A and B are shown apart, each in its own frame.
Chain A
Amino acid sequence: MKPQFTFLLVFAVLVALSQVMGHMDPYYLTVIIFIGINITMATSLNLINGFTGQFSLGHAGFMGVGAYVGAIISTYLTTHGWSAEGVSGVMVLAMALLGGGFFAALTGLAVGIPSLRLKGDYLAIVTLGFNEIIRVIIQNVDFKIAGTGYVNGARGFAVPQLTTFLWVYGIALVVIYFVENVINSTYGRGFLAVRDDEVAAEAMGINTTNFKVKAFVIGAFFAGIGGGLFSHYIQYITPDNFTFLKSIEIVVMVILGGMGSTYGVILAAILLTILPEALREFSEYRMIIYSLLLIVLMISRPQGLFGNASLKKFMAKRKAGATAN
C-alpha cells in the first residue's frame, strides 16, 4: 500500500474515533491523550538520538519552549477577540502550535550548533545543560500578557484548553509519516550515514554538520508542537513539567523501543505511558523499574526491544520465512 494511502486511511479512522472519544471517561481520555503526545515526543527524539546518533538529553527543554510560547500566543489571541470555540478555536490552536514549534526549532538550532563539536557523553551533558538553562529562564520569566493574565514564572501559567483527541493523534500521525518518509528517502540516508560512521559519511561527500543541525531543528520543532499540545490539554504549566527528568523519560521510550525504530518507539511510548497508570499503587517503584530496565537492557539487549528492525523488515522476514516453509 502506498504510504499516502495509509496516511489517509489512518486519518479517517482517527476522525471516526474522535467522535467516540467525546463520550469517554475523562480519566481514560487523559491517558489516551498523553499516549499521543508521548508518541510525538518520542518519535521526534528518535530522529535525533536514534537515526542521527546524536544523544540528546534536552528534549523536554524544547517541549517547554513550545508549551510556553504556544500558551502565550493562545492566551493573547483568546483575550483579543478570538473565540476558543469552533473554527476560531482551531485557528488559535494551529497558530499556537506553529508558533511554539517555530521557537522550539530556533532553540534547537542554538543547541544543534555547539553539538557539532561534541560527541557522545559530552553532547548528552551539554543538551542536559541547555534543558536546565531553558527551565531556569522560564522560571524567571514573569510578565503580563497585554490585557490579561501573567506568565508567572515558577508559580505556573494558566492556559486555555484547546487540545482534542483528533489534534493529538493527527499530529502524531504527521510526525510519524514525516520521519518515516524522510528516513527512507535518498536524502534521509544522510542522517543514518552520520550515525553509522561520521568520517566515512564525510568522505562520501555528506555535509555531516548540516545533517546534525537539521536533525536537531526538526526534532525540536516537533517537540515544541508536542509541548503546545501538552500545555493546551493540562491547562496549567510550571517549569517543573520540563525538567531533565522528563527528557530522560522520553529517552527511555526511545531506548526501550530501540533507537532508530519508529514502530518500536511508538510501542514503547504507549507501554511506558500506560504502565505507570496501571501500576499506580506502586508508583514509588516506577522510577526504580525504569532505571533497572535501562541497565538490564543495555547489558542484555542494547538495541532495544525492536532494534534497528522496522516493522517493514519484520513483515518481510515473516514473509520470507513463510515461503521458506
Chain B
Amino acid sequence: MGEILQQLVNGISLGAIYALIALGYTMIYGVLRFINFAHGDVFMVGSFVAYYTANTVSKFFPIGSVPAVIIIFLVSMTFCAILGATIEFLAYRPLRTRPKLAVLITAIGVSLFLEYLSQLLFGATPRGFPAIISSAPLFKSHLITINTVQVVVIITSLSLMSILRIVVMKTKIGTAMRAVSYNQQAASLMGINISSVITFTFMIGSALAAAGGVLYAAQYPSIDPLMGIMPGLKAFVAAVLGGIGNIPGAAIGGFIIGTVETFISGTFLSTYRDAIVFAILIGILIFKPSGIMGKNEAEKV
C-alpha cells in the first residue's frame, strides 16, 4: 500500500513535467498541424540555461532561496521563448506552404542541430545540476515520503497550466490562437495576423518546455545535451494520448504517462520502460488516434 502511494506521488511529479512539455507539442500542433520534433531539445536548452543562471545567481542570492529560483525560472523561460520564436522564424516559416514532410525533416534537422551544438558548447559529459530546490523530505510518514522538490514541481506545473488556461480562454491573443487552430484561412480573413499568432504560440510552448526543463533538472539533477530526447518523445506520447491539439488533454496525458512509467519502473518490467511507453503510443494511434479528449477529424480529399 505504502509503495503504491509512494509510486503515485513520484509518478504525478514526473507526469507534471511531461504535461508541461506536452502542452507545447499540442499547442504548436493546434496552430500549425505539425509535430515540432525539436521541442524536447528546447526543454534541454532550458535546463542548461538554468544551470548557468544558477551559477551566476548564486553570487547574489544563496542557492535554494526563493528569489534565486524565481530568477532562474524567468531567465530560462525567456531565453527559450526567444529561441522558440527564432527557430520558427528561421526554419519553419519559409516552409509554411510546403508539404508536411519537408517541415518534418526540417524539424528533425533543428532537433539534431540543438543537440549537437549543445554538445559542442557544453560537452557531452553529464553535469550535476545545483540543488536549486531542496530535496529534503517535506512530509514523512511510515507510508510515504514527499520531498519539497516534488511539491514544488506539482504546484509550479499546475499554476503554469492555470495561467495558460486563462491566457488561451480569456485574452485576445488566446482567442486568436483558438481561431487559428480552428480554421486558419477564416481566421486570417477576420483580420488575425497568423504569423504573429504562430510566433506567440511557439514562445509560450517553448517557455513551458523550459520550465519543464528546470523542474526536471531540479528533480533529477544531472543534465546533458541529449537529455531532451526521451522526455520529449514521452511528452509527445502524452500529447497524443490526451488528443493532440487539445490543451487539457495534453495535461491529463502527461500525468497518465508519468504515473504509468513510474509504476512500470517499480516492477520486473523496469528495463522495458521506454518500450512500453512507445507501445502505448502505437496502441493509441491504431485504436483511437484522436486520443482521450480529441475530436475525430474526417479526412478531406
Q: Which A residues lie within 8 Å of B108 (CB)? A: 57, 248, 251, 291, 294
Quick one: which of B34-93 are within 8 Å of A by CB? 34-35, 91
Q: Does any Cβ of A come within 8 Å of B168's Cβ?
A: no
Cβ-defined contact, A136 with B275, below 8 A: yes
**Contact (A295, B109) CB under 8 Å given A130-B278, A132-B278, A133-B278:** yes
Cβ-defined contact, B109 with A287, below 8 A: no
**CA A57 – CA B112 in complex, angstroms?**
14
Q: Does any Cβ of A come within 8 Å of B125's Cβ?
A: no
Q: Does any Cβ of B come within 8 Å of A290's Cβ?
A: yes
User: B21: shortest Cβ distance to chain A, in Å?
Assistant: 15
Quick one: which of A284-316 are within 8 Å of B by CB? 284-285, 287-288, 290-295, 298-299, 302
Q: Does any Cβ of B come within 8 Å of A17's Cβ?
A: no
**CA A251 – CA B109 in complex, angstroms?**
11
Quick one: which of A67-100 are within 8 Å of B by CB? none
User: B99: shortest Cβ distance to chain A, in Å?
Assistant: 8
User: A271: shortest Cβ distance to chain B, in Å?
Assistant: 17
Q: Which B residues lie within 8 Å of A120 (CB)? A: 100-101, 104
**Contact (A287, B285) CB under 8 Å given A133-B275, A136-B271:** no
Q: Does any Cβ of B come within 8 Å of A279's Cβ?
A: no
User: A172: shortest Cβ distance to chain B, in Å?
Assistant: 25
Quick one: which of A228-257 are within 8 Å of B by CB? 248, 251, 255
Please choose the segment from B113-121, B211-219, B255-263 that sits at the chain A interface, where 4 or more of its residues have CB less than 8 A away: B113-121
User: A182: shortest Cβ distance to chain B, in Å?
Assistant: 22
Q: Does any Cβ of A come within 8 Å of B94's Cβ?
A: yes
**CA A213 – CA B281 in complex, angstroms?**
20
**CA A121 – CA B103 in complex, angstroms?**
9
User: B85: shortest Cβ distance to chain A, in Å?
Assistant: 16
**Contact (A298, B102) CB under 8 Å given A136-B275, A285-B120, A288-B116:** yes
Q: Which B residues lie within 8 Å of A22 (CB)? A: none
**CA A293 – CA B116 in complex, angstroms?**
13
Q: Which of B95, B119, B286 contacts A298 (CB 8 A)?
A: B95
Q: Which A residues lie within 8 Å of B279 (CB)? A: 129, 133
Q: Which A residues lie within 8 Å of B282 (CB)? A: 114, 126, 129-130
Q: Which B residues lie within 8 Å of A128 (CB)? A: 233
Cβ-defined contact, A139 with B271, below 8 A: yes
Q: Does any Cβ of B come within 8 Å of A117's Cβ?
A: yes
Quick one: which of B222-253 are within 8 Å of A by CB? 233, 236
Q: Does any Cβ of B come within 8 Å of A122's Cβ?
A: yes
Cβ-defined contact, B120 with A255, below 8 A: no
Q: Is the interface of B mostly helix, strand, loop or mixed?
A: helix
Q: Which of A125, A136, A299 contacts B106 (CB 8 A)?
A: A299
Q: Which of B100, B117, B271 contacts A121 (CB 8 A)?
A: B100
**CA A130 – CA B274 in complex, angstroms?**
11
Number of A residues, CB within 8 Å of B = 37
**CA A20 – CA B270 in complex, angstroms?**
51
**Contact (A132, B274) CB under 8 Å given A121-B34, A121-B104, A284-B119:** yes
**Contact (A114, B285) CB under 8 Å given A288-B113, A291-B109, A299-B95:** yes
**CA A304 – CA B286 in complex, angstroms?**
32
Which of B94, B108, B236, B271 is the most central at the interface, judged by chain A CB atoms within 10 Å of its CB? B108
User: A62: shortest Cβ distance to chain B, in Å?
Assistant: 16
**CA A285 – CA B94 in complex, angstroms?**
25
User: B238: shortest Cβ distance to chain A, in Å?
Assistant: 13
Q: Which B residues lie within 8 Å of A302 (CB)? A: 98-99, 102
Query: Which residue of A is nearest B283, CB measured?
Result: A114
**Contact (A122, B285) CB under 8 Å given A287-B112, A290-B112, A299-B94:** yes
Q: Which B residues lie within 8 Å of A275 (CB)? A: none
Quick one: which of A247-280 are within 8 Å of B by CB? 248, 251, 255
Quick one: which of A97-132 are within 8 Å of B by CB? 114, 117-118, 120-122, 124-126, 128-130, 132
| Pairs A–B under 8 Å by Cβ, sample size 10 | A125-B233, A125-B236, A136-B275, A199-B301, A255-B105, A288-B120, A291-B110, A294-B112, A295-B106, A298-B106
Q: With A136-B271, A288-B113, A298-B98 given, can you name 6 additional A-B contacts, CB distance below 8 Å?
A: A114-B285, A118-B289, A125-B35, A140-B271, A285-B120, A291-B111
